Amino acid sequence: MILAIETSCDDTCAAIMDGDRLSASIVSSQTEFHALYGGVVPEVASRHHLELVNPVIAEALEAAKVSLSEISRIAVTNRPGLIGALLVGVSTAKAIAYSLGVEFVAVSHLEGHIAANYLSPEPMEPPFVCLVASGGHTSIVMVHDYRRFDLLGQTLDDAAGEALDKGARLLGLGYPGGAEMDALAACGDPEYITFPVGLNKQGNLDFSFSGVKTALYYKLKKLGGEEIETHMADIAASYQASVVKALVGKTIAAAMANDCAQICLSGGVSANSELRRRLFEACDSQDIRLRIPPPELCTDNAAMIASAARYLSAIPFPEYLSIGAMASGGFAA
């Protein structure tokens, strides 16, 4: 029985997994607090995690109808993320593991997003290429099996969700703006403006979204108020199209280069309707199977951390007491 904790950014999450069955997944979002500032404020996030972590764990145990004494393994995200935010989860997990005398597992957030694909309703089996696109990360990973990964590409600057949120902000939309831009773009012309696609050379699987953001900034300056007002949806659609083009093109290229006929998507940006449509079309034309987990498993949650923890080795006592939180970091602990 696994109790998993995830506090890497602005969601306080706990989940219980009984063998291969997910029995509870609780997410307490702090979005409304950060919306006041137009982005996640690390110190505010840490303070909220401190207040929320115990009640969220209690809620998960209650929802799963499980007592702490039945837990045999504690899993926690320890990288990458906001240090202060991660530390709340890591310290809580250490304290629970120590007091119960049970196993402790440190999980990479990225590995968690990948492991969301192993959960019901449609569990996916490796090998597959996974695109993780959220407000914090944009990575393409070759998942050979449950324990073996190759990072094929990642963003060199902004994450895809961050680029959409910052673009939305320039357009005067709310925070986080990805979903609002998606809705606005639905009635716009994606060819109204041709925005640049970063690192668009064949074979390059890394991303760069800072150029498109700067291009939007200068475009808006040039266009002026009236044209922006009239063509708001067209501008949003064109901007979003550039981000989606990079995500789809590089993910398909990664699958083809690795002779892989399965693609999975994870992270909050996978809710984007244009990305889903374009990726389904592209996969269809290449005979690639595409799987996108339900939205609650794509955005940050602790179910994915529990899922990943099933395949990781526990860190013995007392070594786990010195496990730290890391702002960056990939797969191996």
What track of x and - describes contact with Zn ion for positions 133 through 172 (by CB under 5 A)? -x--------------------------------------
- Does 136 bind ligand KG4 (CB under 6 A)? Our answer is yes
Nearer to Zn ion, 103 or 300 (CB): 300
Tokens representing 97? 């593991």
- Work out the burial of residue 93: count CB atoms within 10 Å of its CB; fewer than 13 is exposed, 13-18 middle, 19 or more buried: buried
- Does 89 bind ligand KG4 (CB under 6 A)? Our answer is no
Closest CA to 291 of 133, 144, 161, 125: 125
Nearer to ligand KG4, 153 or 177 (CB): 177
- Does 268 bind ligand KG4 (CB under 6 A)? Our answer is yes
Rg (CA), the chain: 20
- Does 179 bind ligand KG4 (CB under 6 A)? Our answer is yes
Query: Which residue stretch of 41-49, 116-124, 128-136, 306-314 sits at the interface with ligand KG4 (rule: CB under 6 A)?
Result: 128-136
139 binds, among Zn ion, ligand KG4, none (CB under 5 to 8 A by kind): none
Minimum CB separation from Zn ion for residue 300, in Å? 4
For residue 299, what is the DSSP state?
A: S
Rounded Cα–Cα distance for residues 271 and 268 (Å):
6
Nearer to ligand KG4, 161 or 198 (CB): 161
Nearer to ligand KG4, 58 or 183 (CB): 183
Tell me the Ramachandran region of residue 41: left when phi exceeds 0, alpha when psi lies from -120 to 50, beta otherwise: beta
The DSSP string of 60-75 is HHHHHT--GGG--EEE
Closest CA to 24 of 328, 306, 326, 322: 306
Give the number of other Cβ atoms within 10 Å of residue 49's Cβ.
28
Tokens representing 70? 């039945």
- Does 6 bind Zn ion (CB under 5 A)? Our answer is no
- Does 272 bind ligand KG4 (CB under 6 A)? Our answer is yes
Query: Which residue stretch of 21-29, 38-46, 211-219, 299-307 sits at the interface with Zn ion (rule: CB under 5 A)?
Result: 299-307
Minimum CB separation from Zn ion for residue 113, in Å? 6
Query: Which residue stretch of 36-44, 120-128, 131-139, 187-195 sits at the interface with Zn ion (rule: CB under 5 A)?
Result: 131-139
Asked if residue 301 lies in contact with residue 25, where contact means CB atoms within 8 angstroms, the answer is yes
Alpha helices in the chain (DSSP H): 31-35, 42-64, 83-100, 109-115, 160-170, 178-185, 210-223, 225-230, 232-257, 273-285, 295-298, 303-309
- Does 11 bind Zn ion (CB under 5 A)? Our answer is no
Residue with tokens 């889903």, as numbered in its chain: 276
Among positions 215, 267, 288, 306, the unique one binding ligand KG4 when judged by CB under 6 A: 267
Among positions 89, 153, 161, 167, the unique one binding ligand KG4 when judged by CB under 6 A: 161
- Does 300 bind Zn ion (CB under 5 A)? Our answer is yes
- Does 9 bind ligand KG4 (CB under 6 A)? Our answer is yes
For residue 93, what is the DSSP state?
A: H
81 binds, among ligand KG4, Zn ion, none (CB under 5 to 8 A by kind): none
- Does 30 bind Zn ion (CB under 5 A)? Our answer is no
CB-based contacts of 49, cutoff 8 Å, min separation 6 = 7, 12, 85, 88, 89
* Residues within the interface to Zn ion (CB under 5 A): 134, 300
* Residues within the interface to ligand KG4 (CB under 6 A): 9, 134-136, 161, 164-165, 176, 178-179, 182, 267-269, 271-272, 299-300
